[in-house]
Structure 1
């Protein structure tokens, strides 16, 4: 990163005295012509503002700090605003002998009042009057506001008397907070002094409890709107958890309880220790730098650090690639470590402020109530440990110096007794982290305490999160510490690696405690059957520790897990099991979502990997928790059903079955045929009888007799109404609409149907294709909308319209749709290498073709048409997406019913499919180039 520059003096950027002189000269030159006077003044002010911003931008890009930049921008704005005020009151609406009612004071409030501004921050102003509005004051305010708007400011303003300020701030905490940091800019100084006295005497005094409660409720509501985690991988720098607003909240609380002359005087309060103040300033500086770069890069008040902006901000802040660690991931890890530090600071410092006022049992500052008497300490059975007002505390850092294992015992005790950690204890922990050495990591008692928390804790997720925020978890388990704050630069994962992992552990605890029963009925049923929960929780904690290491995530993760478990003294048999689970933690989701779980070869191959029922149970729970913890909306009923089907088929093999029992298949087929024949006989329908009798064997193992009968009826309809019929209904179990089309088979049918689905906004998540000996095709699609809900769930007419369009396509009518453009604004940040793989071993009868590349509307149709043009028939398609990447797997056969084995045809097919995938990448590259040019232009 570039070296820091020496702070620049404001007068070297904008000379206020010279600026006012230029404005006065311009006013005199255009005396008598108000329009010309105004235009001249605005031109001078724009020039000063632009010069100041450009100097701030240049200094920022050359290593100036975020706080310095924010103060410089604020100083430039101060000079422009006060110069405009002087111009307005001297040359435009001058009151030579101002009356009492014409007194006016201009104050900066809100963020502007704090003395820091980002490049495109709002300008919050208060025009303070002695009493009711006068024509003079109204004219001054109106002129200034229009001028500020013309200068490009977004202005939040109010014109009030002192009485109005006092009354409104009593009623509205937002107004009260903005006045807390009011800063006089220019005008009548006595008005500003009187307001400050009245505000602190009539509003602030004696109301600390209600203010703190309101601010913390406001903070909690804000976190709730933006998700409760500070580790969302597209964080909001201002409003997100761990962002600037959290630091502002802490400052407001401190200022309110301990009034200061200037906001920065908060840092001198005796309640805050020197190392905490340094961390506070460091966080403020970094976050302000990020925010300033965001504003300058986008040319607008952008607060979200989105994927498409992250690489650019990383570059602007001086981060470069290092080995396998890209610049953007290095920068984002720094961001998340700062966010974690902000969390620790606000937790400790806010609670310490609370402790001064709260004597009754606290559960957080949101219950800030006045108390009386001295807080009593209750000694615990561990020397140096005490319970104080519902919190666990220690005598001081000397407790940990005497026995560093107490750093782990403290969290076990907090979990066992359901206690919060006292801020003093939290501070002592952070000061003692260097005591967690190799010897402590190998200490049997420390290991027992840690495993009690992990595998047998009352509230494992909360306790592990506290350990992580305190820095203890990463020090005690360095394999986990390596991924703390590590982001996964893709659109699939919503959290950093450590936060995802802790959430996954929390999901297992929730399932064990009976939560999510409806969503995870199988996991809920089998979790009590798992004997070795310690191995399950250790595997979950360590499953992603191989990310970014040499040898691939799974192999490297297994090595890391083995190393960590051996150090913890885990039994050798458990170590082997945990390492196996970590190495194979993606296998079950891959088989369920990318392969045909009704294919006996798929089930047999998966069973050969798993080997025994205990591993199967562990792997299922691990997989469910892993997927659910990826991010909001990733888990759904479709994934759950696929996993249940794979689990059931594999468990049947372990119970003595073979996954594909020919005799059972024959009996099922005969039963189904008998059912269809009865209905067809009643209807005297020869077509349905012949169709059912000529369907392939695999068809009868995929559906229930009721579904088979419904399909026969659909085939009858198709024969009667021009060769195609379709039905659609919501499948709640699969969280998708099930769309069934019966039509005469022909080349390109699947691709035509896929085109209709894409054109009407459907997202295909799975498809099966069956063909009778008579040339009748039955295609079954499972479709969701763009939000991941069943297609048409909110509007049944949408489903009927889809079925009608599919019938028309089945008859050979060419569908016409308006081309949907892919939204590449965010995904353009990622470079995606298209891959195509062919596997002739995964299925006994078909070749599996897996195509992976950038997701976009119409991709399924384009891939399917390419397969059709290559002379291949599609038997099933398995569609999945991982953020910006789509992974589509097709089971295909040649027209004579065999696998694709010809080397030249395989090479040609790979080339053709790669071209389809690269077409989307080429579009994104052009968009990326356009964005780069626009960024340079700014």
Structure 2
């Protein structure tokens, strides 16, 4: 343990023991009174010591000394308790050889480090078998520590058991590797360490076995925690690039080199001095963040969740800058540190492997083949390496050539080459960036059919990609502080390239049949791959990243070797990469104006194909649960409608003519119906119904209405699920009455169904035919586990008045928002648009998602005497965008400015959270009282 200044300020054990000796004279040591007095005193000393440690930490902002001080405090408390137990409570006058006990600290505590809320791991060591005396001591110590509030993990063993179990269990072996004598019989502790050293550390083949086990353990752990260091809520202890990875290096270093001092690893040639500094800096940063996290949450929290990130950034001194918030700067620093940990791990393992290979006369199979030359490089242990440190200086093209050849020959890149690249990154300069051959190599890697995702990730991890394309370097580790984006911008982009490759190769054909079919038809694969690389490249600059990204593309594409027409297409795709998703998810695709406006911007079938594929990979790369079949269906629907418009289709055909065509088609389908029944059915619906639904829907509705009329049912609820579209379509047929849509929406919210789309139709004879497209909370069909029957019951109870939905929803509104997401502020807004549709006013509502929001908004629209024709719901993490196509009570658009202002004000009131509504009410009351 490192030297701790002014230790007695934290705890003075000598003085403490004197006070405890006095207590033992006042009370019998084995009495309940003595135990209570002892516990009270220890609590005072422990609390006082923790306050000193905490104060020093906040004064210096250094985690490492704080963790050592915390361990020192606990050491002294444990020693005091042990001394009380052995000398005052259960003293032995003539101990036998078996009546010995040694306390050892293991695990992280064994290293002499304790984060504020970490567990204390203890090993109680006895010579051969436990005696009644040792059981009493152990029990006394443990109960006292638990009563103090310490989280104690413990084991009781003799030295032989320790070694025997360590041989079988790598976790026990690792814990004992860091075992530190704490108190009690020191000879017993030395005996255990000697046995561990001889039987474990010095055993033949133990190094290889331990290394393999720890690296496999690390890989398994990475898989459990997302296998990426760039998730936006990382686990800083167990996640990739976190503290556990640093500890793994320490364990291997101690096992193989018998040291945990990084300076000694420099002397042994494992790290350079520069790498040692990076390692120490990363380690200290992570320790400091962990201490802040424990103090902030007051629990052993290891995950940097959204609700703590902003406060941690504030405590660590990260301030908002133009275009970047302090919390995003802090998280970027965290991700760069995690990247450093990954780099240093590779360097460490490569050197370890090389040294192990030298010790073995026969090459170990896992180390691969012997060295051989290949196109100016060498293949070393199955990985591509350079010939000397001067290679990159003599030929800077090798910065890219190394990765190009590795991709071409399906080889990994040797950590030694990556290490030298790191040191010479300054040579990836303007001259190399403007070299046509360098740009050709890069473009070939990007558009290769041989796993461009892995190659780009290697280039990025090595720092070459960010240097070769400085605009990409600006988004490396760039976090977006919201619930929608799961990865940093650079990781999202590289994953998008991987998804594009998978679609092209047919691995995702079932999920994306249209994109897979279209990819071979695009005029330029290069345009598509470059557009995917650049679509988010201007994020974090403070402006519209689509517009700024298009400007980047216009400058960069010619450098990469793209023609003027290809450059123009890439820039257009970057500029409009959100157009298709915004149109598909927020507009009524049955409205001709929607398709006209979209097609007018797209203008060409090739751009339409490129835009569809770019949109698909962009959404898929956001996170694991963002894409679903419903989004795919909407995108396909928009694609086919726009394709028809761009290739001579008649989307602007008159509504009346389209309605007549649909009616005639349905008449042909209902040939087995009596003519008068067909005529009566066709007369039930207004023009809007016929133009906004397809033939299959018209036929299904006709059968449903016929069945309802024959049976006399006043309420019919029909549900049908489509797993491919990830949607459950619920049709409600009942007598129309004011506010019906709002009440059904409320019933669905109460049942946990998410409405993603809805169409509302009223018949000429006073009936309502409303169709809702719903999903569960995971974005899947809603009908699993009998949920649909429960939903029917809630809708029926709501429409009959048995359930007062708005009261139930008000109770649930706030309880449904997880605490970690409350930190996000989604600025509410209401946009009233009379240009998006020829016959409807389109109201776009944006705000913080919460239970019952849709029901409350639709109730407000009902209160404003507006009729909803269709609703389109999109959720982006904590934000929701609800779009309503509405008319006034006379079936007309809302054009009066006063009415529009009234709509905006009323809906804005609904968007306020209950807390905000209370604040405004208090403010209004205060103003009123001041006037009085």
Q: With structure 1 as the length reference, what TM-score do the two structures score?
A: 0.93
- More off after superposition, 849-858 vs 162-171: 162-171
8 A Cα contact 2:251 2:260, kept in partner: no
Counterpart selection for 1:585 from 577, 583, 593: 577
| 1:710 has 2:710 as partner | no
**5+ residue gaps, structure 1:** 1-5, 362-367, 927-938
Structure 1 residues 21 and 779 mapped into 2: Cα distance closer, same or farther (>3 Å)? Answer: same
1:321 matched to which residue of 2? 320
Partner of 2:755: 764
The answer as to whether partners of 2:449 and 2:501 remain within 8 angstroms in 1 is no
SS in 1 for 2:305: coil
1:920: how far off?
Answer: 5.2
Q: Deviations over 1:751-792 (max 9, x none)?
A: 011011011111111111122233322111111112222112
Taking the TM superposition and a 5 Å limit, the aligned residue runs for 1:693-732 are 693-719=683-709, 720-732=711-723
Q: Partner residue of 1:530?
A: 522
CA drift of 1:371 comes to 5.3
Structure 1 match to 2:178: 181
Match of 1:837 among 831, 837, 840: 831
CA separation of 1:680 and 1:285: change in aligned 2, threshold 3 A: farther
Task: Determine the C-alpha separation between the residues in 1 that align with 2:29 and 2:174.
Answer: 43
- Residues 612-631 of structure 1: per-residue CA shift (max 9 Å, x gap): 01111111111101100101
Instruction: Give matches, 1:387-402, under 5 Å.
Output: 387-402=379-394
Residue 338 of structure 2 corresponds to 339
Tell me the distance in 2 between the aligned counterparts of 1:156 and 1:881.
44
- Aligned-residue offset at 1:708: 2.2
The 8 Å contact of residues 723 and 810 in structure 1, kept in 2 or not, is answered as: no
Report 1:3-402 matches (<5 A): 8-32=5-29, 34-204=31-201, 205=203, 206-260=205-259, 269-358=268-357, 370=364, 376-382=370-376, 385-402=377-394
Matched-pair contact (CA < 8 Å) for 2:231–2:487 = yes
- 1:913 and 2:907 aligned: yes
CA distance in 2, matches of 1:860, 1:184: 63
Cα separation, 2, equivalents of 1:122 and 1:665: 71
Q: Structure 1's 267 and 12: CA in aligned 2 closer, same or farther, altered over 3 A? A: farther
**Structure 2 CA distance, aligned partners of 1:125 and 1:829?**
39
Aligned equivalents of 1:412 and 1:354: distance in 2?
A: 25
Matches within 5 A, 1:742-821: 742-792=733-783, 794-795=784-785, 797-807=786-796, 809=798, 815-816=804-805, 817=808, 819-820=811-812, 821=815
Contact persistence 1:847–1:892 (CA under 8 A): yes
Kept in 1: contact 2:368–2:381 (CA 8 A): no
Q: Select between 511-520 and 33-42 the one with higher mean Cα deviation.
A: 33-42
Change (3 A) 1:323 1:755: same
Tell me the SS of whatever aligns to 1:779.
Answer: strand
- Corresponding residue SS for 2:80: helix
- Pick from 627, 640, 655: which aligns with 1:635? 627
Task: Go from structure 1 to structure 2 and tell me whether the alpha carbon gap of 1:64 and 1:265 turns closer, same or farther (over 3 Å shift).
Answer: farther
The question of whether the paired residues in 2 share the 8 Å contact of 1:66 and 1:284 is answered with no
Aligned to 1:933: none
Q: Could you report, residue by residue, the CA deviation over 1:54-109 in whole angstroms, capped at 9, with x for unpaired residues?
A: 22222222233121221111121112112222222111222233221111111111
Which residue number corresponds to residue 930 of structure 1? none
- 2:924 aligned partner: none
Q: Which moved more, 1:417-426 or 1:807-816?
A: 807-816
* Partner in structure 2 of residue 543 of structure 1: 535
2:925 maps to what in 1? none
Cα distance between partner residues in 2 of 1:372 and 1:213: 10
Distance in 2 of aligned mates of 1:75 and 1:746: 73
> How far does residue 550 in structure 1 lie from its aligned partner after superposition?
4.1
1:677 Cα deviation from its structure 2 partner: 6.3
Contact preservation (8 Å) 1:834, 1:854: yes
- Cα offset, 1:637, TM superposition: 0.3
Q: What are the residue-to-residue correspondences of 1:546-625 with 2, within 5 Å?
A: 546-625=538-617
2:883 matched residue in structure 1: 889
Residues 495/8 of structure 1: CA separation in 2 closer, same or farther (3 Å cut): farther
2:101–2:125 CA contact under 8 A, matched in 1: yes
Alpha-carbon deviation of 1:153? 0.9
Alpha-carbon displacement from aligned partner over 1:704-737 (angstroms, at most 9, x marks no partner): 4443232123223444445321111212232011
Secondary structure at 1:678 match in 2: coil
SS at structure 2 position matched to 1:559 = helix
- Per the TM alignment, residue 372 of structure 1 is displaced from its structure 2 partner at its CA by 11
Check whether the contact 1:722–1:811 (CA below 8 A) recurs between aligned residues: no
Secondary structure of 1:169's counterpart equals helix
CA distance in 2, matches of 1:272, 1:625: 40
Tell me: CA distance 1:30–1:262, structure 2 relative to 1, closer, same or farther (3 Å): farther
Moved more, 143-152 or 912-921: 912-921
* Kept in 2: contact 1:832–1:921 (CA 8 A): no
Q: Distance in 1 between matches of 2:181 and 2:674?
A: 89
**Residues 271 and 353 of structure 1 are in contact (CA less than 8 Å); yes or no, is this contact kept in structure 2?**
yes
Q: CA deviation at 1:559?
A: 1.5
Asked if the contact 1:695/1:773 (under 8 Å) is kept, the reply is yes
SS at match of 2:94: coil
- In the alignment, the residues of structure 1 paired with residue 435 and residue 14 of structure 2 have an alpha-carbon distance, to the nearest angstrom, of 69
1:526-574 C-alpha deviation (Å, 9 max, x unpaired): 0111221112111111111221224311111111222222333432222
Q: 1:110–1:182: 8 Å Cα contact kept in structure 2?
A: yes
Unaligned 5+ segments in structure 2 are 921-932
1:935 — aligned with what? none
2:928 alignment partner in structure 1 = none
Distance in 1 of aligned mates of 2:50 and 2:496: 45
CA deviation string 1:785-840 (max 9, x = no partner): 12222112x22x32123234334545676555574232241221112210110111
Please provide the CA RMSD for this pair: 2.4
Q: 1:122 to 1:344 in 2, by over 3 A?
A: same
Query: 1:860-879 alignment to 2 at 5 Å?
Result: 860-879=854-873
Q: How many aligned residue pairs are there?
A: 907
